[in-house]
Structure 1
Amino acid sequence: MHDLILHHYAGSPFSEKVRLILGFKQLAWKSVTVPVILPKPDVVALTGGYRRTPFLQIGADIYCDTALMCRVIDRLAPTPPLFPQGAGGVQHMLAQWADNALFWTAVPYTMQPAGLPHIFGKAPPEVIKAFGADRAAMMGGTRRASVADAGAQLRTYLAWLEQQLADGRRFLCGEAACIADFSVAQSLWYIRRAPPVATVLQPFGRLLDWVERVQAFGHGTHEPLAASDALGIARAATTTAALTVAAQQGFEAGAEVSVTPTDYAQDPVTGRLVGLSDDEVAIERHDERAGRVVVHFPRIGYQIRQGSPS
């Protein structure tokens, strides 16, 4: 089996979600640090244009979006389960809410003037300006909450989570951790990076105790890997995950398709369709530096179109 290679950067909330899951599973993994903003030539060589962070590489299989990455990790290391039966369907709904509504409330709230110095450290003004321009381009004009609106929404969300823990349970869906815990934890981790802003969490004692339990899982065992070495691993791989294109999905195996996120960072990835189900789409691409790769996406949150985008 190929090593798990996480392409990420230290300050990425979704990367922290996956790092904690790798710690929960007590897995060993390779760490490739990617640029925070464009250009990302080594990323594009593997993903074909998908620019969100993180993504997971296993040989020449490239898994995009943490919703899919988490399922893949759980299949490879099923114990302890990331999706315990006792947590039911609510764990999936809570995780999706956290990855979207909670995340897009926590980020603008944390990025207020009092939080910026803690998020960016000693970065010079031109770096902060470049980051802002990069993220504005990713969002494509999508309107996000003001600090005042985000604060009101965040306090409501935190109260909901505190109520969920009111019966003394150790984790959000019961006594065992599940996908919902890690999806929620990433946003609280991000808020806590900026202590002047993190005071919003102080009234929620159960939630603060809970996040300490989640953070205690750590990040597993990892060692750095150069991006060039990750490209070499993809290029040298002789096999990829077994895939099929399910019938009645509206697309034929081998068809040229594009896959595009429907919310933000809408950069299409084009290739030959090699896998399709209700849960996943996979396309084969060829890159001069990475060789033949198969790029995988979840179905929720992505649009498949026949042919290359216009």
Structure 2
Amino acid sequence: MPELILHHYPASPFAEKIRLLLGAKSLSWRSVEIPVVMPKPELMPLTGGYRRTPVLQVGADVYCDTALIARVIERLHPAPPVTSDHSALSDFALANFADQQLFSAAVAYAMQPEGLKTMFAGMTPEQMAAFGEDRKKMREGGSGLRMPLAEAQGVLLVTLARLEGQLADGRRFLTGDAARISDFSCYHPLWFIRRAGAVASIFEPYPHLRGWMGRVEAFGHGKSMPMSAAEALDVARDAAPGMLPGRSLREVDGVAVGDAVSVSAVDYGVDPVFGTLANAEPDAVSVRRSDARVGEVVVHFPRIGFRIRKA
């Protein structure tokens, strides 16, 4: 079975979601550390412009967005089950809420001055300015605006209290005694806050929540082995993309397999990826593209949160 290659950086909350999922499944994987800010010259040959973190590479197939990455890992390594294409709607809805609203609230709350002081300790003023400018550009053209602090506090107070209440009956995880995708999706925004020093005091009134966070953290990250970006590009160059069924949903997208298309996120990091439509399913779309460094690759995106257009 091809190796799982995760392109990420240690401080990325969405990457932490996937690292913990890999740990829950006791998997071995290759770790390629990518820059926190643009440019990312050794990632672009794989993604064709998609810049968000993390990205999962399996040979010459490149998977974007953790909603899809989690499902791909599940298909390749189904035990123990964490998610599926047919997850319970409650689990799916909670995971989607966490990846969107809860994450936005967590970022705004953690980025208070006290939080910034902890998270950016050791960085030069120039590095901090570069980070701020990069994230500003990342939001340009998208629908995902930065949440005001007061709104973020409101979202967090409501959500933390509800999570605490859900865990108060003694269950180990949010939907029962086994971890599901909603656990990993709810955990990573709170992990981001916890890294922000003094502002993590918001968790103090919630003992059941803190216990649950400890149980999720205990999954660890599996067995990761470093890989250079150049090695990962060589893997893609020497592999062929997986065979796709060639299905298209013309009535939904107005495009068919073989059409020139662009796919882009709708909220932030909206840089389009151009190629030819290789496959379109109800939950994902796949674009075939070519790059001088890696040859032919197929880049896969989830349906929710992305738009496909005829190029």
Q: TM-score normalised to the size of structure 2? A: 0.95
Q: 1:283 Cα deviation (Å)?
A: 0.6
Which letter does structure 2 place at the counterpart of 1:73?
I
Q: State whether structure 2 residue 271 is matched by structure 1 residue 267.
A: yes
Give 3-state SS (helix, strand or coil) of 1:199's partner. helix
Q: Deviations over 1:86-126 (max 9, x none)?
A: 97220000000000000000011101110112212201011
Q: 1:294 Cα deviation (Å)?
A: 0.4
Tell me, in whole angstroms, the C-alpha distance in 2 between the residues paired with 1:270 and 1:178. Answer: 34
Alignment partner, residue 209 of structure 2: 207
Tell me, in whole angstroms, the C-alpha distance in 1 between the residues paired with 2:86 and 2:134. Answer: 41
Alignment partner, residue 151 of structure 2: 149
Alignment partner, residue 115 of structure 2: 115
Cα 1:103–1:239 shift into 2, 3 Å: closer
Alignment partner, residue 12 of structure 1: 12
Runs of 4+ in 1 over 6 A off after TM superposition: 84-87
Cα 1:55–1:115 shift into 2, 3 Å: same
Alignment partner, residue 133 of structure 1: 133
Moved more, 166-175 or 218-227: 166-175
Q: What aligned pairs does 1:1-310 form with structure 2 within 5 A after superposition?
A: 1-83=1-83, 88-140=88-140, 142-247=144-249, 248-249=251-252, 250-307=254-311
Which letter does structure 2 place at the counterpart of 1:23?
G
Q: Is the 8 A contact 2:71 2:85 kept in 1?
A: no
Give 3-state SS (helix, strand or coil) of 2:3's partner. coil
Q: 1:239 Cα deviation (Å)?
A: 4.2
Which letter does structure 2 place at the counterpart of 1:259?
V
CA RMSD of aligned residues (A): 1.6
Q: Is the 8 A contact 1:84 1:178 kept in 2?
A: no
Tell me, in whole angstroms, the C-alpha distance in 2 between the residues paired with 1:273 and 1:241. Answer: 13
Give 3-state SS (helix, strand or coil) of 1:270's partner. strand
Q: Is the 8 A contact 2:241 2:297 kept in 1?
A: no
Which letter does structure 1 place at the counterpart of 2:186?
V
Tell me, in whole angstroms, the C-alpha distance in 2 between the residues paired with 1:218 and 1:241. Answer: 33
Give 3-state SS (helix, strand or coil) of 1:109's partner. helix
Which structure 2 residue ranges, 5 or more long, are not aligned? Answer: none
Tell me, in whole angstroms, the C-alpha distance in 2 between the residues paired with 1:86 and 1:169. Answer: 23
Q: 1:155 Cα deviation (Å)?
A: 1.4
Q: Is the 8 A contact 2:266 2:307 kept in 1?
A: yes
Q: Deviations over 1:232-276 (max 9, x none)?
A: 000010342433223544321111000011111111000011111
Give 3-state SS (helix, strand or coil) of 2:71's partner. helix
Q: Is the 8 A contact 1:87 1:173 kept in 2?
A: no
Q: Is the 8 A contact 1:87 1:178 kept in 2?
A: no
Q: Deviations over 1:163-200 (max 9, x none)?
A: 11122111101111100000001011111112201000
Q: Is the 8 A contact 1:8 1:34 kept in 2?
A: yes
Tell me, in whole angstroms, the C-alpha distance in 2 between the residues paired with 1:173 and 1:85. Answer: 17
Which letter does structure 1 place at the counterpart of 2:31?
S
Give 3-state SS (helix, strand or coil) of 2:263's partner. strand
Q: Identity of paired residues, percent?
A: 51
Which structure 1 residue ranges, 5 or more long, are not aligned? Answer: none
Cα 1:121–1:234 shift into 2, 3 Å: same
Q: 1:146 Cα deviation (Å)?
A: 2.7
Q: TM-score normalised to the size of structure 1? A: 0.95
